[in-house]
Structure 1
Amino acid sequence: MVGLKPTDVPPTNGVKVVGAGAAACVADLVTFPLDTTKVRLQIQGESKSNNNVTSPKYRGVFGTMVTIVKTEGARSLYNGLVAGLQRQMSFASVRIGLYDSVKHFYTNGSDAITISSRLLAGCTTGAMAVTMAQPTDVVKVRFQAQLNITGVSKRYSGTIDAYRKIAKEEGLPGLWKGTVPNIIRNSVVNCSELVTYDLIKEGLIKYNFMTGLCPPSCVWGHGTW
């Protein structure tokens, strides 16, 4: 790193991993009610809850959120938040934080980075992230699906209790239910998101769009657009 200014020194893998996980946690805090709403709409009509109490009818995104607040309280929109944050720290930190390192691994450190190496890196970190974070995702969804109304007994009393009960009643593989389709889904998402972001960022840097300076090939002006 000789000759580089402090601002030019690239962040370490540790900084990237922690930074990606922390940023994803902030995003999760903001969007978690929408995620809970999605889960409730997805499982609606599956079965009656415990004690033969029928779950409320949900209509639309905002209608579902209002129904949850009215019947279970506003805090129920954040059921499973602890597992959700655990998921982001183990999921986003890997799929985003390790993307650059894996990308350079596939190119053997070369500066000539192809689309195929970017796609491979996206699929790899996406699959790694899901494999590592799947138990937290299972627990998060179980909590989001759990009703918090009078007359319905809760299956899980807390995050640790959920991990313990799932492992005990369904075996350790129960914590990795849905891993294969989740890997396929997130590999596609990761490739779409990160590769697109990577290409756009590279283009912005290459052509100095964010600095107001003209690229070397610019034939008009003198150093500026």
Structure 2
Amino acid sequence: MVGMKPSDTPPTLGVKLLSAGSAACIADLVTFPLDTAKVRLQIQGEKVASEATKGIRYRGVFGTISTMIRTEGPRSLYNGLVAGLQRQMCFASIRIGFYDNVKNFYSGGADTANIGIRIMAGCTTGAMAVSFAQPTDVVKVRFQAQVNLTGVARRYTGTMQAYKHIFNHEGIRGLWKGCLPNITRNALVNCTELVTYDLIKEAILRHNLLSDNLPCHFASAFGAGFVTTCIASPVDVVKTRYMNSPPGQYKSAINCAWTMATKEGPTAFYKGFVPSFLRLGSWNVVMFVSFEQLKRVMMVGKKKMEDKS
């Protein structure tokens, strides 16, 4: 199991769901500016800028962050945070919290699972999570792409207004826009992230390089972040472009990818790679470390309550 030693008592599903969602929210609070910079870099060059934004160019992750602070203020780095936290509570809790249970289901309860079983479990929980959390992801991306400048009309003024506006103008399909590329992206991310974390951690412990503590969790999470970014970046860029696009700009996610390839070339699929890696690497570190600690705290608290009763 992710984050558990063989001698440990496995945490309950409720503990895993709550700790996963809470840990993901902590990670989002720490890394959200990097995610916003990634979105701005990914959509750059997508459409003709308004007069107020024609002179703004984003160059690199830290250049993007400094440009946003200079032109829009520090708060712009946290555009869409509310939707981001909503997303993590229903998204991460499912894709991470259910992972061990689904892995055990596929393996028939065996003590160890091969890499095929782990990949299937990661893809399954990643796809399940998107099915529930897609509207929160659409709103988050659109807020992050929204430029807060005088003379530029704002698409949305608040999180709930955004959900209502998208539903009224684009229907239920608008809230689930980009669901297919997002399922693809998150199935890739989830199986790569969790399986790589699992395998790196098991290798570290098996070869006695580190004990099951903070340095081990840090190294495993950082390695998982790098591998995941390399594999998922192209799908992530298409997902961001498609979800942020106005109705009619692209016929489908496939059309979006084809337009990018023909007009901007293959490198367009790796736009924002550095902030994606910085964000995903740091997000993984904060999330997995928090996840491990929260699980242990909750299990200790649960055991104390059982002992008292």
Contact 1:48-1:54 at 8 Å conserved across structures = no
How many angstroms does 1:119 deviate by?
1.1
TM-score computed with the length of structure 1 as normaliser: 0.84
Contact 1:17-1:93 at 8 Å conserved across structures = yes
How many angstroms does 1:199 deviate by?
2.6
Contact 1:95-1:129 at 8 Å conserved across structures = yes
Do residues 210 (structure 1) and 194 (structure 2) align? no
TM-score computed with the length of structure 2 as normaliser: 0.62
- Alpha-carbon separation, structure 1, partners of 2:110 and 2:45: 53
Contact 2:52-2:149 at 8 Å conserved across structures = no
Do residues 54 (structure 1) and 46 (structure 2) align? no
Tell me which residue corresponds to 1:37: 37
Q: Secondary structure at the match of 2:97?
A: coil
Tell me which residue corresponds to 1:162: 162
- Alpha-carbon separation, structure 1, partners of 2:8 and 2:77: 42
- Alpha-carbon separation, structure 1, partners of 2:100 and 2:193: 14
How many angstroms does 1:21 deviate by?
1.0
Within-5 A mapping of 1:57-76:
57-76=57-76
How many angstroms does 1:45 deviate by?
2.5
Amino acid at match of 1:131: S
- Alpha-carbon separation, structure 2, partners of 1:49 and 1:168: 26
Do residues 197 (structure 1) and 197 (structure 2) align? yes
Tell me which residue corresponds to 2:106: 106
CA deviation digits over 1:167-208, x for unaligned, max 9?
A: 110011111111111111221221212112223334455566
- Alpha-carbon separation, structure 2, partners of 1:35 and 1:62: 12
Q: Secondary structure at the match of 1:25?
A: helix
Tell me which residue corresponds to 1:138: 138
Tell me which residue corresponds to 1:128: 128
Q: Secondary structure at the match of 1:171?
A: helix
CA deviation digits over 1:35-61, x for unaligned, max 9?
A: 1111111112233466x5335222221
Contact 1:123-1:190 at 8 Å conserved across structures = yes
CA RMSD of superposed structures (Å)? 2.0
Amino acid at match of 1:54: T
- Alpha-carbon separation, structure 1, partners of 2:194 and 2:14: 19
Larger Rg: 1
- Kindly, what percent of the aligned residue pairs are identical? 66
Amino acid at match of 2:173: P
- Alpha-carbon separation, structure 2, partners of 1:184 and 1:45: 24
- Alpha-carbon separation, structure 1, partners of 2:94 and 2:75: 29
> For residues 187 and 54 of structure 1, do their structure 2 counterparts lie closer, same or farther at Cα, with a shift above 3 Å needed?
same
Do residues 118 (structure 1) and 118 (structure 2) align? yes
Amino acid at match of 1:116: G
Number of residues paired by the alignment? 204
Which structure's residues are more often helix, by fraction?
2
CA deviation digits over 1:66-95, x for unaligned, max 9?
A: 111111110001000000111111111111
Amino acid at match of 1:12: T
